[in-house]
Structures are given as structure tokens and as C-alpha cells.
Structure 1
Amino acid sequence: MGKNLFIGAACMLSLFHSNLMAQPMAANDEQSQKSSVSTDAEALRIRVVQKVQSSLAENDVPSASIAYIEDGKLAWRYAAGESEPGKKATPDTLYNIASMTKSIVAETVVRLSESGAFAMDDSMASAWVDPDLKDDPRHKLLTPRIALTHRTGLPNWRYLTDNVLKFQSDPGTEFGYSGEGLQYVAHFIENKMGRPLEDLVAETVFRPAGMNETTFTDRPWLDGRIAMSQNKAGEHSFASRRTAWNAADDVWSSSGDYARFMIWVMANPVTTERAATYWIPRDNLKYQICQEGRVSPLLCPKSLGFTAGWTVYDTPENLIVMHGGGDEGEHTLGFFNPVTGNGAVIFTNGANGQKVIRDIVEILLPDPSFVAFTNMQSGG
């Protein structure tokens, strides 16, 4: 589950499952589903269909599932390739979304705070102190906002510090991508609200967003629907079906369900502030890709950072809110522009999935800066 900064960002990026499944959109073929879409959206779908099969083959990725959002609505879904050897992927195939889990938990935290349950800048010490940190007074400085903007000073995972959680810097002083930070705030809201995390997420996010194909932990309805991961050696295996939640990794979802989540986020802002200002990150981290030569200075974004659990990539042409995920045999990305209402979800189940994501982004959002970023993510 180790992830670097922007695999975590672009990696920087249900608990509730109704017996009545959401009614599918009319299918135009076995692997593609669309609603009434504009000419532009249909043209994009055709281009994706034409490109994705060759991209999967060229990059040795078993499958991809894509959901496209236009003007705040789910326009179409498409799946290509095999979810496991000999079995076709469909728009209903479920993928391990890895670090895209973080945005689901972050939205839960932010919306519970907006309801008045606690303040984003409250110390979490009143409800949760990790046993490893109880003797370090700096734990009192940890707040939900610090956790969601990756400024806790904690490592990504505690196995990096000999399986003992330790501060690597003082809370609030510098950026450091941390799954442990999301775990910390998840324990906080469980204790603060006196309810299990999965119940809180279901009530706060999944049900109002209409999500019934997403889960943190094992469910019988996962059987026969999940995509096998393929590692760099070409070996296939099923990712973990957890019996206990992880707030930063390993949720199962369909591309359409995660698209519904992003649509709901856009349609139900937690603030009256303009999207173009609300989403701008406090800490501009673009130097981590621009000054290091990973993205050409000519294509550098105006800003890059975290706001409330999402990665924000702000270019002269687009305000892109996103999160990605990457484990050994899967790579995923979800992004949307809260100003235009357009976006997409792209799930893959291969170690080279970022290259397929890059090829699809070039079609769906041909912003030169963002394409350069996804090309960097893919290794060029």
C-alpha cells in the first residue's frame, strides 16, 4: 500500500447496499452504457472506445472502466478488457480504488463538521489519541483540517517507522502525504460521534449521493463482480476484501458509483463560497513537480495542493479537483471541474494502469498542463 506523494494524489492524489440495485442506463452494447448525451459527450465516448482497447494491449493492462460526467450529470459509462482472465469487464465491474478512499472519508468529515458536530480546527485529542502518540504532547495539535490537508507530520504508514506511529515533523508545519492521517481522523469521528465509521459514511455520503455499489469491507454482493489485480510480473490476484475498514485504502466501487459521488459533491457544496476560490489549496506544492523538472515550467499549473481531502490542480484553463489511487496491481483516477461540472472516473486493474489513464485523459480533458501531469504520473 506504499504510495508516494502524487501517486497518492492523483493519489494526489458500502456499507449501505440496497437490495434494489440502481436501475442501469440503457445499454447500446455489452460494455457501454449511456444516457441522453450531448453531441460533444458522444464524440468523446466514441474516441475513448476507439482508443482504450489499443491502450490496454500496448500497456499490458487487463481492463478499464470509465464514467464520464457532463454538466453535472452522468453522461456515459464504458468498460473494456477483462476483469479476470476469460471474463469481460462491464460498467458494473467493481475495482479496488486504493487512495480514492480518502476523498470519501474526507467528505464525511467535512460534512459532519458543517452540521455542527465539531469544528475543523478543534484538537482531536478530546476524542482520539493514538496509543503510540499518547506520550508525545504534539498529539494535541492534530485537528481534522490538518489531517485532511496532509499536514499531520505523520508518515504515510506506520510500517515506515518500525510499526510505531511517530511524528516526523511538528503538526501543521509542513506537507507530508499520510494515510495514517486519514486513519487518525476516522478514529476521531467514530469516537466523537459514538458510531462506526461505515455507518457515518453511509448516512452522510453514500445514501444522499445514491451510492449502492461501494463498500469498505467485505460484502456477499462483491462475489463475481470484482476485477482481479495484475502486478508487473503479469500475475493475477484479488485484492484484499477487508473485514475492518481502512480510511485511506482498499474501498471497492464501480466507476459509475464513484461518478455519482463526485456529482453529488459538486451539486451539494458545503459552502456558499465560489467554487473557484473554495477549492484553491492553502499550500501551493507545484514546486514538487515544476522546479524538480517533472513537469515543464511552461506547463506548470497555477497551483497544486490539497483542500479537504482532494487534490486540486489549477491551470490557466481548468480548475481540476481530483484524487487517484495506486496499489501494486491497480491504478485509478477521478477528477472534476466544479466550475464547468464536467469530469470523469477511470479505473484500471493493472500495474501499468497509469499509462491507460493518461491516454484517456488526453481525450476527455486535453488540458496541456494536466496531460503533462498525467504523463509524469505514468512515467512518460
Structure 2
Amino acid sequence: MKKLILSAFILFIVQPSSAQRNIKRPDGGTMTAAAIDKVVHKLMDTAEVTGLCIRIISNNQPAYIKAYGFANKAKKQLNDTATSFYAASLAKPLFAYTVLQLAQDGVIDLDKPLYTYLPKPLPEYDNYKELAGDDRWKLITARDCLRHSTGFPNWRDADPGKKMGIYFTPGTHYAYSGEGIQLLQMVVEAVTHRSLEDIAREKIFIPFGMTKTSFLWQPRFEEDYAVGHNIQEDTLHKDRYTHVYAAGSMETTIADYMRFIAAVMQHQRLGNKYWGQAFSPQIVINSKTQMFSLDTTSVADNSKIQLAYGLGWGLFQTPYGRAFFKEGHGFGWQHYSIAIPQQKTALIIMSNSDNAESIFTELVQKLTGVTIPFEWESYHPYRGTAKLAEEQLRMFTGVWHNERYDTTVSLVNGRLKVEAPKVGLPPTNIYPENDHHLFLKIMETDLEFVKGADGKFVKAIADDEGEHYELTRVK
């Protein structure tokens, strides 16, 4: 064990300086550290991404790592590569890799119905009592949970009926489900009589040298942790998980998580049989979007990129080989990881900003040359904002009226804010697209301002989520 930990330390901590060499991309091109830095800074600044961490693996070796922006903007605390981030759904592949090791050890069979591992029928458990009367729960396997084909909703609270249900025969269709991951965690802990935290520590954290990763909040994280930020870059409450959730209670760092990805790429702790199953298509994805995919009639042609799910990761074909990928998303947290084992390359992006997904498509493309399935992932590109002088911003300020309500635009600490109390809009950031056009990020609302003979704005034409009307200046 000591030799294993030491080798992990040497492989991932003692790394060559990315500033002294070019970093090879999967498409054959190269980038310097300075070029990467320039791309990241420009995108973050344009899209108002509060904080971000990036790590790149090239030729199976650490090639670039850097933290950007704020861990806590309100306190002016900067991110570091050792700053703890909430991992959100980046926890799921790590859980999957743990389960695959248990399958390799003969502890669990990926294709054996999960209920056979439990002492009583699934509907007799409080969390699953709503499945009574639908015997399809007897079909669900560990493979179904890891490839998202259980038939469960993502989360029962998001279900239209706010209850648990099976929406299609397990194993026949893809539909992303955190509930499926949680069911498998319950079975794994029942079979092993151990907590997932203990199992993950044995199978993943210790062997891969992940000293700042846990499914539970640890006192050591208090030394350096990030908080999430919303679209307006306001800081959000930091959750400190005291219960293990395989689907998303994990805390980690950019350095630790790439240790995991690097180990996976090198087949560590998994033989060819289970590694091959994890990273070969286990179910074809024909849904139009990743989430809200319970409607089996919602068919899209994803065959051009061979979009599918393996066991714990999404898969698609690039011009440079098959890629495996995983996203993470929570309030104030947005992450993306992608690896192409054939090219021995990987990229992980971790962000504590709700604006980060708007730059992921462009950022991944510029750093790797790969176009990700952004429409399926519902990634909407950022809108560029203009850098206007204070006197130009002040021209928008005032009270703007239409027959239904008044709208106030003000300038606060160099930022434009809009509010309309009558329709429940609190002071909210509004952004200049140019010197006569403003837009909101939290909803599809644009305001086109029109000048009068005196050169001042006298009215605004609103495009409010498809509805058009005029506002006139009254103050």
C-alpha cells in the first residue's frame, strides 16, 4: 500500500512545468500555457464566470493546471488548485468506478436484479413504496443504474406528480436518473455492510492519492473551499453534507479529480473486461436532451456522433477517437470533464459559477479541437456584453412606464440594475449588448432604446419572452 501511494504521489504531484513546453491537442495542434490562459481569461470576462479551475492531461501526463477567479467573490478570496469544490454529478463516475471494482471482485453482479440483494421487496422500503403495483422494479440491475436506463425520473421531486415511478421498461431506454444511482448505493451498502465513503476510500481515494476528496464534508475542507455564485455573481450558501449521496454529495479539488481521471485512463484497478464495458456503448441515446428524457417518443438522430452511455460516463465519437465525458451541475456549480483515451488526453473544467456552462462549448473546442454534444446537453452560449463608459451606462437610468407596470433602471457600483416590483422583479443585473440595447440573463428579455431629438433615450421597445411592447421614460 505504501508503494502504491508513493507512486501516485510521484505521478501526479511531480509534474513538468506547462509554461516550458507546448501542450498537444487531440487534433494534432499545440497550445502554449500563455495561449490557454488568454482563452480562459477572455471567455470568463465576457461571460462573467466568477471562478474556474482547469486541468489538462496530455500523453497520459499532467500538462496544465490553473485556478482562475474567486472562490468567494464577496470576500475577495481567490481560487487555488487546492481549493475544495462541490463536485455535483462528477461524483457519479467515481461511484461507477467503485461499483465496477466490486463487480470485478465478485461482490455484485452487474446483471443480477438488484432486489435479490435486499432482505425485503423494494416497495417495502419507505423510499420506494410508490412502486407497489408495478413489478418492473424487479427488472432493474446495477447496469441499468450506471447507464441510466432504470425508468426512474432524475429526481422524484422534479416529477410532475412529485412521486417515484417507472416510466418505461428498465433497460430499454436512456433517461438520466440520480434516483437510479441512489438505489444502487443502497444495494451496495446493504451487500457490503459498509458505507460508500469507506468503500470509496479503499477503492479510489487512497489508491489514487485523492487526499482532498470525500462524499462527506471534512473539517480539513474548511481551510480552503469555494462557494457557488449565481448568474449575477452573488455568493450562494455552502452545503456541508453529513450524509453520503453517491449521486452528488462529494467534495473534491481540480487536482484530485484529475488524479481520478488519469487513473481511469490508465486502466488502474480495473481489468480489461470491466474497463471495456464501462467505456463501450451500453445503451444508445436517442433523446433530444440529456435531462427530461423520460418521453420515449422524443427521438433525435444522435447516430452521427454515436452518442451513448457506458457505465458511469457518456460516450461519443470524435474525429480523434471515442470520448468519454461527464458533466456536473448544481446551484452555483457547473463542471465538465472529457477524455479521449486513444489520444491519451483529457480536460476537466470545474467552476463555481452559474455562467460557466455558457462557455463550455467554446472552451472545450479551443483547448481540444473537439465539438461536444452541446445541444443535447442544453448548453446555451453566452451573449457578449459591451464595455461602456459610466456616462453611457447612465443614459439608460430612469423610470420607464407602460400601462401595466413601471420599470426602474439604476446604476449601482458601475453595474446597471433593473427592477419592476409590480411583476415581482427585484433589482437584477441587466447587461449592455451595445450602446442602445440591454438584456437580462435570468430570462429572455431585451430592451432596445430609442433616442429623441435631444440625443437622450425617450422610449424602449421590449421583447419580453416573445411579447413586444413599448416603455416611455417618465423620470
TM-score range, shorter chain: 0.7 to 0.9
Task: Write the distance in 2 (CA, Å) between the matches of 1:360 and 1:152.
Answer: 33
Deviates more, 1:356-365 or 1:72-81: 356-365
Deviations 1:122-158 (A, max 9, x none): 1111234343435342222111001111111111111
Contact kept in structure 1, 2:277 and 2:311, CA below 8 Å: no
Task: Write the distance in 2 (CA, Å) between the matches of 1:78 and 1:122.
Answer: 43
Kindly tell me: are residues 215 and 238 of structure 1, through their superposed partners in 2, closer, same or farther at Cα, counting changes over 3 Å? farther
The structure where helix makes up a greater share of residues is 1
Kindly tell me: are residues 37 and 285 of structure 1, through their superposed partners in 2, closer, same or farther at Cα, counting changes over 3 Å? farther
Q: What SS does the aligned partner of 2:70 have?
A: strand
Kindly tell me: are residues 271 and 373 of structure 1, through their superposed partners in 2, closer, same or farther at Cα, counting changes over 3 Å? farther
Task: Write the distance in 2 (CA, Å) between the matches of 1:176 and 1:246.
Answer: 19
Contact kept in structure 2, 1:84 and 1:227, CA below 8 Å: yes
1:170 aligned residue: 169
The residue correspondences of 1:215-230 to structure 2 (distance < 5 A) are 215-230=214-229
1:331 aligned residue: 334
Deviations 1:69-115 (A, max 9, x none): 11112222111111112111111112112111110111111110011
1:243 aligned residue: 242
Task: Write the distance in 2 (CA, Å) between the matches of 1:222 and 1:301.
Answer: 43
Deviations 1:249-300 (A, max 9, x none): 132111111111011111126343698886231332256269xxxxx98x97
The one-letter amino acid paired with 1:88 is L
Kindly tell me: are residues 37 and 200 of structure 1, through their superposed partners in 2, closer, same or farther at Cα, counting changes over 3 Å? farther
Contact kept in structure 2, 1:48 and 1:360, CA below 8 Å: no
Gaps of 5+ in 2: 25-29, 291-299, 383-475
Deviations 1:155-180 (A, max 9, x none): 11111345532212222222111000
1:40 aligned residue: 23
Which of 298, 302, 313 is the aligned partner of 2:316?
313
Task: Write the distance in 2 (CA, Å) between the matches of 1:175 and 1:374.
Answer: 13
1:153 aligned residue: 151
Task: Write the distance in 1 (CA, Å) between the matches of 2:375 and 2:365.
Answer: 11
Q: Check if 1:342 corresponds to 2:345.
A: yes
Task: Write the distance in 1 (CA, Å) between the matches of 2:92 and 2:224.
Answer: 23
Gaps of 5+ in 1: 1-17, 28-32, 291-295
Contact kept in structure 2, 1:67 and 1:344, CA below 8 Å: yes
2:267 aligned residue: 268
How far residue 65 of structure 1 moved from its aligned partner, in angstroms, is 0.5
Task: Write the distance in 2 (CA, Å) between the matches of 1:118 and 1:319.
Answer: 28
Kindly tell me: are residues 182 and 278 of structure 1, through their superposed partners in 2, closer, same or farther at Cα, counting changes over 3 Å? closer
> TM-score, normalization: structure 1?
0.83
Deviations 1:302-326 (A, max 9, x none): 3112101101121233311110111
Task: Write the distance in 2 (CA, Å) between the matches of 1:192 and 1:37.
Answer: 50
Q: Check if 1:119 corresponds to 2:109.
A: yes
Q: Check if 1:49 corresponds to 2:52.
A: no
Q: What SS does the aligned partner of 2:323 have?
A: strand
Higher RCO, 1 vs 2 (CA within 8 Å, ≥6 residues apart): 1
Contact kept in structure 1, 2:55 and 2:65, CA below 8 Å: yes
Q: What SS does the aligned partner of 1:93 have?
A: coil
Kindly tell me: are residues 177 and 287 of structure 1, through their superposed partners in 2, closer, same or farther at Cα, counting changes over 3 Å? closer
1:82 aligned residue: 70
Contact kept in structure 2, 1:286 and 1:303, CA below 8 Å: no
Q: Check if 1:354 corresponds to 2:357.
A: yes
1:293 aligned residue: none
Task: Write the distance in 2 (CA, Å) between the matches of 1:84 and 1:374.
Answer: 31
Q: Percent identity?
A: 23
Contact kept in structure 2, 1:26 and 1:35, CA below 8 Å: no
> TM-score, normalization: structure 2?
0.67
Q: What SS does the aligned partner of 1:102 have?
A: helix
The one-letter amino acid paired with 1:216 is F
Q: What SS does the aligned partner of 1:229 have?
A: coil
Contact kept in structure 2, 1:154 and 1:178, CA below 8 Å: yes
Max Rg structure:
2
1:131 aligned residue: 126
Number of aligned residue pairs: 349
Task: Write the distance in 1 (CA, Å) between the matches of 2:368 and 2:117.
Answer: 42
RMSD over aligned Cα atoms? 3.0
Contact kept in structure 2, 1:215 and 1:252, CA below 8 Å: yes
Deviates more, 1:278-287 or 1:223-232: 278-287
1:99 aligned residue: 89
Q: What SS does the aligned partner of 1:76 have?
A: strand
